[in-house]
């Protein structure tokens, strides 16, 4: 199967009570790792690309070409979406033009009227090309790739206004944070999540900040309509730890330094393991 928008895979997940993982990609190795895990698990997959990662990979066109190339070589059979993560208005337009199959327009830092106006415009432009749209209400806490949110809990009525614009998935702040959770974290606000789920007419809900949420809480959130869960930090942590361990073990010192392909392999393997574990937890295994 080729690139697809996230709409169909997420509507199915919402209806059948599981969640599809969005795993952020940063380079060729991460693309290969995430696609390998998804293919092995026969799970649909969303590849998240932040604006910073897009720049790092030499622009959105390069990202699309790399992903398509890897999919072709791997003979990918599962549904794959390339999705802009926390996009600005201009970033979303650029990704739509570059061939992404899904975009997030994060207007949560605007007042609600401006968020509604800009989200409506993005929906119109994206849907004309069959591209899915994620919008956000009530910012996600913490910092990710230069995008910082104060971590407000979303207002369910504002969520309904945004959901009614015809978006395909809704991210709502419910006490979730990018990066590591502090020790005194109060947990996800399930009462608000439940209310948002009930007022937004079965729209797939998105849980950002997927690293470090206890498994039971993840399952409970899925029960209230969370159909897409974003994970980035956990992959970064295991990748760095595995590569560090490899360097410290001092392999491949042949006077030429480390073989760059061997150097990164333990990191790739570590990401594959994390992604597979998450697919089992989220329930997306064998849903492709």
Among positive and negative, which fits the CA dihedral 252, 253, 255, 256? positive
85 is catalytic: yes
Pick one of 63, 165, 193, 231: the residue that binds ligand 13P (CB under 6 A): 231
Report the site for ligand 13P in 22-51 (rule: CB under 6 A).
Answer: 24, 48
- 232 is a contact residue toward ligand 13P (CB under 6 A): yes
Pick one of 156, 210, 225, 267: the residue that binds ligand 13P (CB under 6 A): 210
- 211 is a contact residue toward ligand 13P (CB under 6 A): yes
Interface with ligand 13P by CB under 6 A: which range of 62-70, 131-139, 229-237, 267-275? 229-237
- 278 is a contact residue toward ligand 13P (CB under 6 A): no
Pick one of 76, 101, 233, 284: the residue that binds ligand 13P (CB under 6 A): 233
CA distance 69 to 195: 42
171 vs 243, beta carbon nearer ligand 13P = 171
Minimum CB separation of residue 262 from ligand 13P in Å reads: 27
* Residue 94: other Cβ atoms inside 10 A: 19
Interface with ligand 13P by CB under 6 A: which range of 1-9, 110-118, 231-239, 248-256? 231-239
32 vs 178, beta carbon nearer ligand 13P = 178
- Contact pattern from residue 151 through residue 190 relative to ligand 13P, giving x for each residue in contact according to CB under 6 A and a dash for the rest: ---------------------------xx-----------
Phi–psi pair at 167, nearest 5 degrees: -65, 165
Provide the annotated active-site residues.
85
- Point out which residues bind ligand 13P (CB under 6 A): 24, 48, 85, 144, 178-179, 208-211, 230-234
């Amino acid at each position: 199967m080729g690139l697809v928008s996230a709409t169909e895979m997420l509507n199915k997940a919402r209806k059948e009570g599981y969640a599809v993982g969005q795993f952020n990609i940063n380079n060729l190795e991460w693309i290969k790792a995430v696609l390998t895990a998804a293919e092995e698990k026969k799970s649909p997959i969303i590849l998240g690309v932040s604006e910073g990662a897009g720049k790092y990979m030499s622009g959105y066109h390069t990202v699309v070409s790399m992903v398509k190339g890897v999919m072709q070589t791997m003979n990918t059979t599962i549904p794959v979406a390339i999705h802009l993560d926390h996009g600005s208005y201009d970033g979303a337009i650029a990704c739509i033009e570059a061939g992404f199959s899904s975009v997030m327009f994060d207007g949560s830092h605007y007042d609600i009227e401006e968020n509604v106006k800009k989200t409506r415009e993005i929906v119109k432009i994206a849907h004309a090309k069959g591209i899915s749209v994620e919008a956000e209400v009530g910012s996600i806490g913490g910092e990710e790739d230069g995008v910082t949110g104060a971590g407000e809990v979303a207002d369910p009525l504002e969520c309904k206004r945004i959901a009614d614009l015809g978006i395909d998935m809704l991210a709502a702040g419910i006490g979730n944070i990018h990066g590591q959770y502090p020790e005194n974290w109060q947990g996800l606000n399930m009462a608000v999540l439940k209310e948002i789920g009930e007022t937004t007419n079965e729209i797939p809900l998105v849980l950002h900040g997927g690293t470090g949420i206890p498994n039971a809480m993840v399952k409970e959130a899925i029960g209230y309509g969370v159909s897409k869960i974003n994970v980035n930090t956990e992959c970064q942590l295991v990748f760095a730890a595995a590569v560090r361990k490899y360097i410290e073990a001092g392999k491949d010192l042949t006077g030429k330094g480390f073989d760059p392909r061997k150097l990164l392999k333990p990191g790739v393997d570590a990401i594959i393991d994390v992604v597979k574990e998450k697919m089992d937890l989220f329930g997306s295994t064998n849903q492709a």
